[in-house]
Structure 1
Amino acid sequence: MLIQKLFCCKHSGLFLRSVLKKWTQANKRELSRISEHYPKQYTTAAPEHVVYVSRSKNIFENLALEDWIYQNGDLENKNYLLMWSNGPAVVVGLHQNPWMECNVDRILAENVDLARRKSGGGTVYHDEGNLNVSFIKSRPRYNRKENLELVKRALAHNWDVDLTINCREDLILDGFFKVSGTAAKLGGHRTYHHFTLLVDVDVERLTTLLQSPMIGVKSKSTESVPANVRNMVESAPSMDIPSIVQCIGDKFLHQNIPQGKCSIQYISTITDADFPGVSTKIKELKKWDFIFAKTPPFSIIKSYTKVIDGGKVDLDLNIDIVKGKIHKINMNLTRGEGAAVIDHNHLEQYLLELTNKRLNKQELSPPFQALITKASSETESVVSRSHVQWVLECIRKSLVSE
């Protein structure tokens, strides 16, 4: 009856609008919450194409700039291309374990930057012979294959290089050598797809630094896929970074959008004056808590055997690492026939002093030295000094690469 009256009443239209208005006002908060879960409608007009080229050689500054554009860029109306080269640096993926992917101690000793980026993918080595290319677009315009094809065509047009794209979306030179890996970050409405181009990097240093000395690791972190690499200058000696930047930038600016506006900007300094809040991003990327503590939990599992005091001794270790720190050390020390060697409860007192220590050679050396000194002065008959010292040395070797 109510529905019939509404449609029969000459004022039904006004009445319905009044009801709808009151309902909308009453449910304004709920409607706002629901709208946050639905993507914005992006314009179908040709987007403006913008190319940024960073002159900074600092990996943390360049990664922060990329993240700043990703979060603050006008992706509704613009497509961005960011390119840069870094000084020597090793960059691990968001879900990777740096101790498994590279030689952490050697990297730090050689003053090479070690960074974690906010995208997935594998570990890469950067230096000034490597070009980083990042396409930053809205979710509807995200297309990795299209980005790679653009770069491939730009390079092939200017140099005689045989480049193909494999099933992993890597760029392959001469049908065999990997010259570019690919990674991406996808947000609700925002994305970036980035990759490196090996132009003229120090391949020997790349190989050395990306070789981890750590073995016996059990982890769920993403592992890099080894590949044969080669610099593109070996196929095209006239190639250099500035020329590649220019040809890729030109191709992107005129990518089948003659009616679109074009612009290019060279960025000399990455500061809050031009990119408000970017300094905070730089600091966050440099923090130990982001580079190392973001590592998924893992375990170091090792076994050792030694003859001590005329008898064979076996040691099984399981060291749990959580957020980059020693969480727990489980050990089993037995004679060759399986009998216990010493009082494990007593030895646990030594091991507890190592918990919550960062997995860092410089930070671990003092506590290990203190414990070994303590063991050498131990006088209780229940503990064999030589056994305790050997256990501590085995733990140290398991945690710290030489």
Structure 2
Amino acid sequence: MIYVKSDSTKPQFNLALEEYVFEYLDEFDKIFMLWQNEPAIIVGRHQNTIEEINTKYVKENNIHVVRRLSGGGAVYHDLGNLNYTIISKSEENNGFDFKTFSQPVIDVLAELGIKAEFTGRNDIVIGEQKFCGNAQYMKKGKVLHHGAILFDTELDILGKALKVSKDKILSKGVKSVRSRVTNIKDYLKEDITVEDFENLLLKRMFGGEKEILPYKLSEKDLQKVNELVEKRYGTWEWNYGKSPEFNIKKSNRFESGKVETFIDVDRGIIKELKFYGDFFGHGELEDIENKFIGIKYNEKNIRHVLNDIDISYYFSGISVEQLLSCIID
């Protein structure tokens, strides 16, 4: 296993670095990364950005908005937050194993006298409050797992910057996103910094006291990362994207996440269809969205399209019937 450390706090660069390491440092079976961002909202791969953020507040407070490769929900980052990434070669399958990859964080907290546990589909909590959300991206026999750890984050800003849908808040049985989350620092018996916690996590991952030297990226590597910033992570098209004109909007929240569908129907024919949500899945949704274009907007034809798709691959944990309910009554 190698350790890749980012000296940048720009979210566009860090997410580009993460993708580059995942795609191109293929000679290593396992890679560990630690990184921090200046204030930013990182939205999930399939989310409709405008519906996840408080646009006015984000703009007034110069908060970056960047989309990541993995699914799941939007998270807030600042310099009181620590992000970790584990990249591992494995047999590709449709399952998402968040618990195993979350264990190092739980172990470090146990050493500090704090009981944390994995719960739900992708959260690590202390008591009933979340301090770390996790997400995964899989491709070509490799998995990229990353988590956003709230160590000493400005939670009031987090609550104002994120615009969480009411159905998600109700499903958690709490009043607001702010009341759902907590900082690790509030539970420490002895005061340590986020840098101290970073070192503890590093030691846990590499199993020893000896100095852990970061892998040195070449100038060519860094050039490729910056090209990814220019082509993807620094663009409006990637981070916000174009929402289709629509006359039908449907959504449902399931145990595996929320699915929201925007559909443009003209004279009974589907002209465009777009899926959004905080669900997890593989592949490019555009590949299946295009299959609906030109078909009649009725249950028979929509079901026919769905039956020809491996729904569990694109929408992990969601059935054909559940997805059908997000398209037509």
Contact 2:45-2:69 at 8 Å conserved across structures:
yes
Q: 1-side partners of 2:245 and 2:109: how far apart?
A: 41
* Greater relative contact order structure (CA < 8 Å, 6+ sep): 2
Partner of 1:168: 121
- The reply to whether residue 132 of structure 1 matches residue 79 of structure 2 is no
Q: Which runs of structure 2 are paired with 1:341-352 in the superposition (5 Å)?
A: none
Contact 1:51-1:253 at 8 Å conserved across structures:
no
**Could you say if the C-alpha distance between residues 61 and 79 of structure 1 is closer, same or farther in structure 2, counting changes exceeding 3 Å?**
same
**Could you say if the C-alpha distance between residues 271 and 295 of structure 1 is closer, same or farther in structure 2, counting changes exceeding 3 Å?**
farther
Q: 2-side partners of 1:296 and 1:95: how far apart?
A: 14
Structure 1 residue 273, shift from structure 2 partner:
3.5
Contact 1:54-1:266 at 8 Å conserved across structures:
no
- CA deviation string 1:139-188 (max 9, x = no partner): 2398532221122112221x121201113231101x21100111110002
Q: Which runs of structure 2 are paired with 1:193-208 in the superposition (5 Å)?
A: 193-208=145-160
Structure 1 residue 211, shift from structure 2 partner:
2.5
Partner of 1:64: 16
Contact 2:116-2:124 at 8 Å conserved across structures:
yes
Partner of 2:33: 82
Partner of 1:108: 59
Q: Which runs of structure 2 are paired with 1:1-400 in the superposition (5 Å)?
A: 49-74=1-26, 77-140=28-91, 143-157=97-111, 159-173=112-126, 175-211=127-163, 228-236=180-188, 238-254=191-207, 264-265=213-214, 272-283=219-230, 284-293=232-241
Structure 1 residue 111, shift from structure 2 partner:
1.3
Aligned length: 238
Structure 1 residue 128, shift from structure 2 partner:
0.2
Does the residue aligned with 1:179 lie in a helix, a strand or coil? strand
Q: 1-side partners of 2:91 and 2:198: how far apart?
A: 26
**Could you say if the C-alpha distance between residues 71 and 88 of structure 1 is closer, same or farther in structure 2, counting changes exceeding 3 Å?**
same
Contact 2:2-2:215 at 8 Å conserved across structures:
no
Does the residue aligned with 1:128 lie in a helix, a strand or coil? coil
Q: 1-side partners of 2:22 and 2:235: how far apart?
A: 21
Contact 2:98-2:135 at 8 Å conserved across structures:
no
**What amino acid maps onto 1:58 in structure 2?**
K
Contact 1:116-1:290 at 8 Å conserved across structures:
yes
Does the residue aligned with 2:222 lie in a helix, a strand or coil? coil
Contact 2:129-2:180 at 8 Å conserved across structures:
yes
How many percent of aligned residue pairs carry the same amino acid?
Answer: 26
Unaligned runs of 5+ in 2: 167-175, 250-260, 266-329
- CA deviation string 1:216-250 (max 9, x = no partner): xxxxxxxxx95700111110152322111111111
Structure 1 residue 274, shift from structure 2 partner:
3.7
Contact 2:3-2:33 at 8 Å conserved across structures:
yes
Does the residue aligned with 2:220 lie in a helix, a strand or coil? coil
Q: 1-side partners of 2:43 and 2:246: how far apart?
A: 16
Contact 2:33-2:85 at 8 Å conserved across structures:
yes
Partner of 2:307: none
Q: 2-side partners of 1:57 and 1:130: how far apart?
A: 11
Structure 1 residue 108, shift from structure 2 partner:
2.0
**Could you say if the C-alpha distance between residues 55 and 179 of structure 1 is closer, same or farther in structure 2, counting changes exceeding 3 Å?**
same
Structure 1 residue 136, shift from structure 2 partner:
0.6
Q: 2-side partners of 1:88 and 1:300: how far apart?
A: 35
Structure 1 residue 276, shift from structure 2 partner:
4.4
Q: 2-side partners of 1:188 and 1:209: how far apart?
A: 35
**What amino acid maps onto 1:280 in structure 2?**
E
Does the residue aligned with 1:140 lie in a helix, a strand or coil? coil
Q: 2-side partners of 1:150 and 1:296: how far apart?
A: 41
Q: Return the index of the structure with the highest Cα Rg.
A: 1
Q: 1-side partners of 2:90 and 2:135: how far apart?
A: 15
Structure 1 residue 131, shift from structure 2 partner:
0.5
Structure 1 residue 262, shift from structure 2 partner:
9.4
Contact 2:109-2:115 at 8 Å conserved across structures:
no
Structure 1 residue 109, shift from structure 2 partner:
2.7
Which is further off, 50-59 or 291-300? 291-300
Q: 2-side partners of 1:124 and 1:188: how far apart?
A: 26
Which is further off, 140-149 or 277-286? 140-149
Contact 1:65-1:278 at 8 Å conserved across structures:
yes
Q: 1-side partners of 2:17 and 2:119: how far apart?
A: 29
Partner of 1:381: none
Q: When the two structures are superposed, what TM-score results if normalisation uses the length of structure 2?
A: 0.65
